[in-house]
Chain A
Amino acid sequence: MAAFFSKFFPYFTKHWDDMGELLLDHLQIAFTVLGISLIVSAGLSILIYRSEFLSTAVLGLFGAIYSIPSLALFSVLVPLLGLGKPSAVFALVLYLQYILIRNILAGFHAISPAVLEAGAGMGLSPAQLFLRIRLPLALPIIIGGMRIAIVAAIGMTVIAATINAGGLGMLLFEGLRTHYPVKIVWGTLLCAGITWIANSLMYEIEKYCLKKANGELPAKEVIKSIYGKKVA
């Protein structure tokens, strides 16, 4: 134990630049995955939104993929896309579809039909209805999905190191292979740290959007009247 602690901090002072690189690499993979996933899931959601049959079918398919262990999925993809980042990103995008599509659909379906009928009946165009009514009301649930997706992406990126995709998993697995607990602990700590930060950040955004959707934020006019006077 004492041996562990005598190496723990010196390891950091010696290797902080390598660790930083792995950390950035990790974040880069996770956010690339998230970005691509968002675009794909938004597109798919638009295609299937109106059809209950398609919604069930597509969610069922991605639900099944989501239940495949990541290691297994990586191994299937390596022969097709090779070792490294492309396979990892592809697999993770597949995984996140379930979480994201499920929440996007849930977000839009949770909007009261009366609210939509009122909006359409008053003559809002489909685009106005989407931007002014649908999106702000669906956003809290969508952001909630993004929060879970980010956490999942950061976690699964660790596993992606097994197919040489880079990131903090490299540190962790190297530690495992070489029986070097200090590396394992640093890898775990950094990973948990960014997960925690990402989760907390998204949680705040989610809370803000929820308050906005429920009409619990102070009205813009009120904010203006408070700050407007101070500035003037």
Chain B
Amino acid sequence: MTMDLNQKKNDVPVLKFQRVAKRFPNAQINAVNDVSFSVNRGDFITILGRSGSGKTTLLKMVNRIHEMTAGDIFFEGENIKNLNLQDYRRRVGYVIQQIGLFPHMTVAENIATVPSVLKWEKTRIDTRVDVLLTLVGLDPAEYRNRYPGKLSGGQQQRVGLARAMAAEPDLMLMDEPFGALDAITRQTLQDELVKIQQKLNTTILFVTHDIQEAFKLGDRVIIMDEGEIQQYATPINILFEPANDFVSQLVSAEDAVQKLKVLRAGAIASDLGFQTKSGDLRIDKDVYLDKVLARFFETRAEYFVVTGKDGQPIGQISWEQFKNFAQFRKDGVDSKKEAV
């Protein structure tokens, strides 16, 4: 029985937009127009677009901060209009751009917000707070009882992230969470978020206007313009098969080096085609290609065996192939492999 339920839960998309539109009162045009897409469990989806393209509006319709004016949104198969608003929101983590920590509550109290309204036991909450603080890279003993006013911007952002994850949400909504941070802190947090997401297999919808960030973090990227989805595809697909002029203009601004920084080994690996030997050099599928390039130079290897989640070999990248790819000839890529 439980098996069946889990099976069902995995089949149904976590989130599904069906011809969704939003027009603000007194506006001449729709801020979001006829948007349909779905998000599967464990997907890390980034939403990329210029200022005013409707990214935030799209995100806020998910947790009904904004009410859609047309269409339907389904959460785990259920129309969100039929769900109890508060119960539903407690299952959807929310990180807003301005962080919005409660200034009169300690870090621990902030993080415990949803667990406490869900009436978790105190010991369970305390343990959860410590686990989350450790997860986002803050020492619980030091930070648990601090107030938000005594944290740096980056630390506040970490607490905001921990707070949104507190009650193990099925879905996380993040609106430019790293927008206000310096480049280095931002990169650290991006790397940590990727790690956390892979560890917990959280489903994330992440808004950004930074193309690097969108491609680096997203398994798939939604490109928005003028309230409409221009393309919804994997980073590599967007780079090599832009759906329209808008997208190709957007991505052509990225030079080859930048592209290496946002694509991962798994995306360009080809079929293994041979038995791996103990001497083979291995590389994880999630390593970015600029690191792969560095390792080719370091090791002077002819090829790397690409490994998956459990360390199992799933493919290979040869130097020849990599060279072709780095010159960004489209035939260097096996486009069926990109979804790894």
Q: Which residues of A contact B (CB under 8 A)?
A: 112, 114-125, 128, 132-133, 136-137, 212-216, 219-222
Residues in A with CB closer than 8 Å to B173 are 121
Beta-carbon contact of B102 and A115 below 8 Å: yes
Residues in B with CB closer than 8 Å to A114 are 96-100
A–B Cβ pairs within 8 angstroms, 16 of them: A115-B103, A117-B96, A117-B100, A118-B101, A119-B102, A121-B65, A121-B89, A122-B89, A123-B89, A123-B92, A136-B104, A213-B103, A214-B103, A215-B104, A215-B147, A221-B106
Asked whether B145 is an interface residue with its Cβ less than 8 Å from the other chain, the reply is yes
Asked whether B86 is an interface residue with its Cβ less than 8 Å from the other chain, the reply is yes
Known: A115-B103, A121-B65, A124-B113. A215 touches B98 (CB 8 A): no
Asked whether B184 is an interface residue with its Cβ less than 8 Å from the other chain, the reply is no
C-beta contact mask, B74-113 vs A, less than 8 Å → 1, else 0? 0000000000011111101110111111111110100001
Nearest CB on A from B324, distance (A): 47
Beta-carbon contact of A215 and B103 below 8 Å: yes
Known: A112-B98, A222-B145. A120 touches B150 (CB 8 A): no
Q: Which residues of B contact A (CB under 8 A)?
A: 63, 65, 85-90, 92-94, 96-106, 108, 113-114, 117, 144-150, 160, 163-164, 173
A110 vs B86: C-alpha distance in the bound complex, in angstroms?
A: 25
Residues in B with CB closer than 8 Å to A120 are 65, 89
A132 vs B87: C-alpha distance in the bound complex, in angstroms?
A: 18
Beta-carbon contact of A117 and B105 below 8 Å: no
Main secondary structure of the interface of B (DSSP, over half): mixed
A116 vs B103: C-alpha distance in the bound complex, in angstroms?
A: 11
Nearest CB on B from A212, distance (A): 6
Known: A112-B98, A114-B96. A215 touches B113 (CB 8 A): no
Beta-carbon contact of A214 and B114 below 8 Å: no
A118 vs B166: C-alpha distance in the bound complex, in angstroms?
A: 14
A220 vs B108: C-alpha distance in the bound complex, in angstroms?
A: 11
Beta-carbon contact of B103 and A221 below 8 Å: no
Nearest CB on A from B60, distance (A): 8
Beta-carbon contact of B94 and A219 below 8 Å: no
Beta-carbon contact of A115 and B100 below 8 Å: yes
Residues in A with CB closer than 8 Å to B103 are 115, 137, 213-215
Beta-carbon contact of B106 and A124 below 8 Å: no
A74 vs B216: C-alpha distance in the bound complex, in angstroms?
A: 73
Beta-carbon contact of B65 and A219 below 8 Å: no
The one of B90, B100, B144, B145 in contact with A118, judged by C-beta atoms closer than 8 angstroms, is B100
Residues in B with CB closer than 8 Å to A222 are 145
Of the listed residues B86, B92, B94, B102, the one surrounded by the most CB atoms of chain A closer than 10 A to its CB is B102
Residues in B with CB closer than 8 Å to A115 are 100-103
Residues in A with CB closer than 8 Å to B102 are 115, 118-119, 132-133
Beta-carbon contact of A137 and B104 below 8 Å: yes
CB-based nearest A residue for B126: A221
Residues in B with CB closer than 8 Å to A124 are 86, 113, 117
A128 vs B85: C-alpha distance in the bound complex, in angstroms?
A: 14
A220 vs B90: C-alpha distance in the bound complex, in angstroms?
A: 25
Nearest CB on A from B209, distance (A): 18
Nearest CB on B from A56, distance (A): 21
Beta-carbon contact of B65 and A123 below 8 Å: no
CB-based nearest A residue for B84: A123
Residues in B with CB closer than 8 Å to A123 are 85-90, 92, 114, 117
Beta-carbon contact of B104 and A122 below 8 Å: no
Beta-carbon contact of A118 and B94 below 8 Å: yes
Beta-carbon contact of A121 and B96 below 8 Å: yes
A117 vs B63: C-alpha distance in the bound complex, in angstroms?
A: 11
CB-based nearest B residue for A220: B106
A115 vs B45: C-alpha distance in the bound complex, in angstroms?
A: 25
A229 vs B339: C-alpha distance in the bound complex, in angstroms?
A: 57
Beta-carbon contact of A219 and B106 below 8 Å: yes
Residues in A with CB closer than 8 Å to B148 are 215
Nearest CB on B from A30, distance (A): 31
Nearest CB on B from A214, distance (A): 6
Known: A112-B100, A122-B113, A123-B89. A214 touches B94 (CB 8 A): no
A133 vs B104: C-alpha distance in the bound complex, in angstroms?
A: 8
Beta-carbon contact of B104 and A212 below 8 Å: yes
Beta-carbon contact of B88 and A221 below 8 Å: no
Nearest CB on B from A15, distance (A): 49
Beta-carbon contact of B65 and A117 below 8 Å: yes
A132 vs B116: C-alpha distance in the bound complex, in angstroms?
A: 12
Nearest CB on A from B31, distance (A): 17
